[in-house]
Structure 1
């Protein structure tokens, strides 16, 4: 399937430049908003991250995940769900849309984990975020990794703010930089993801998953994919049915997060998505079909923790009354994170 035949629209950002006229920028903004209203996912091409820079990022990600387990475990994800940084080994994280209260949270978390997500990840944030301190591997383990990823983190932020500026214009705000003060970049998250090969039958029988169906928590998410495939979104016209988001080389896949849906009073759609069996297999073990290894790099964009998210005036009228009460970002984030990670017993804290 190509980008032209896929159900996910393609938006060209080549005209989003500092010397572009307001009319030119609004034209791009309106196309973006129309796509986000229909699907919630878009391909963005001609953004300001070069193909060479993206290739370097994937090269570094592969170097990271090629390390031995004991090396990656020199920067383990902290126990619990309040700090989301460092290396998460297969089975540690369980992605879902669940939000349990204190009464049912333990049972719900246990039930969700009966089917584990077969993936590993490494989370990176701003060095200026004291609430989410980075967990870096020692420099001698992977020389140059920290320097590259620190720079790449802020390059992704700049790209994200261009997209959010277009969103601001597209939903009728007079100030295209409306979201900039609440999104200085320190609460974003750069995630390196690796889905190792597993028996295809395990995914087909749902005894294992790649990443379960969920929506993203924050404002927007940008995803860079390799050529493997497997990302799907829920069909906006047929709930429960999923459609492919095939790789489009050097494009960023952007999706609306829960906060942006709340800000826009449901003008923009936060779509449920998942990662499942890729369309191609690369090897057999005897007669057993194995999935391809898959790499992706999501970048999650979120406001500062105390930010109060409430419906934008431009998205409210007689036909569209306010749907959401104001909520503080930190409170919403903790409700979602509490169901995603649990503190493992000491005996199970290190992967086999």
Structure 2
């Protein structure tokens, strides 16, 4: 597949009013065309302090000794720390595992993590829970707007922190920080830091296009309190809409221009994967817009998984393993 240096131009959407049909339509159009969109950080409940503090905790954890991180090694339930090269998202095209570490969190109950926390994070359990709750609230607002765009009253969750180091021990044309993949939940929130690029999406033409952290000079003039939140559609939401909303393949690379700088930055991201409850059926939503798309596209997608009768948790578990 060819690479392009031309950044993809994605819309920035203000979600401050979750009941505005025009916003719902704009979000639906972006999700159907790109599978990705930006959410204006001004229109969310996050403060700059919330995001900065979360990134600070992330950096503190990833810079802690390996022995401490190993106390919360990732388990079969996909919760915990995974070290460098542990995961290989695109095994057919990668010569080695992903150049990244990750720390996955599951649900919190009564403000308490349901998994071991390392010494660097255990004193901050309440702050981590609070950030996850803000993410969940944001996802609910986005899904409400998508439902509004679909002319359907409702559209039937797991945070993660990822560290991708800048390193000389890689081959630019072969190695990646995260291999090509699609997300298997409903939607994903991605928080990024300025000066730490690398995300690319696969275009309909079959080329890789970089996704800017801040979407262009005009957007910078908006004076965002922190970079817009990048949102992408997952496999389940694509299935619920018979493929109308795109679950776009994406990857994270070592941008050559960045790595040639005297002091290239490590890449830190905060990722929130929004999943349905396990019992949610994988059947298309009763939307006239989805039905019209189904007629135009000739029916159920080729993989046949829409409407197969399983639950959302079954599909996520199958993908996760």
Output the TM-score relative to the length of structure 1: 0.76
Residue 51 of structure 2 corresponds to which residue in structure 1?
A: 54
**Counterpart-to-counterpart distance in 2, 1:209 and 1:245:** 15
| 1:209-228 Cα distance to aligned partner (Å, 9 max, x none) | 21001000000001001121
1:145 deviates by: 2.4
Aligned to 1:295: 268
Gaps of 5+ in 2: 1-6, 215-225
1:38 aligned partner: 33
Matches within 5 A, 1:130-149: 133-138=114-119, 141-142=120-121, 144-149=123-128
Partner residue in 2 for 1:28: 23
Task: Determine the structure 2 residue equivalent to 1:11.
Answer: 13
The equivalent of 1:348 in structure 2 is: none
**Number of positions where the alignment pairs a residue of Structure 1 with one of Structure 2:** 289
Alignment of 1:1-352 (within 5 A): 6-16=8-18, 22=19, 25-45=20-40, 46-78=43-75, 82-96=76-90, 114-128=95-109, 133-138=114-119, 141-142=120-121, 144-173=123-152, 175=153, 178-179=154-155, 182=156, 188-199=157-168, 202-206=170-174, 208-227=175-194, 228-236=196-204, 238-239=205-206, 241-248=207-214, 249-278=226-255, 279-281=257-259, 291-314=264-287, 315-317=290-292, 318-319=295-296, 321-323=299-301, 324-326=306-308, 327-338=310-321
Normalised TM-score (structure 2) = 0.83
Distance 1:205 1:235 in 2: 19
SS of residue in 2 equivalent to 1:74: helix
Q: Deviations over 1:253-281 (max 9, x none)?
A: 00000000000111111100000013423
Whole-angstrom CA distance in 2 between matches of 1:233 and 1:114: 20
Report SS of the residue matched to 2:71. Answer: coil
Q: CA deviation at 1:112?
A: 6.9
In the alignment, the residues of structure 1 paired with residue 64 and residue 261 of structure 2 have an alpha-carbon distance, to the nearest angstrom, of 22
- Tell me if structure 2 keeps the 8 A contact 1:234–1:273: yes
Q: CA deviation at 1:13?
A: 2.0
Paired position in structure 2 for 1:345: none
Alignment RMSD: 2.4
- SS of 2:108 mapped into structure 1: coil
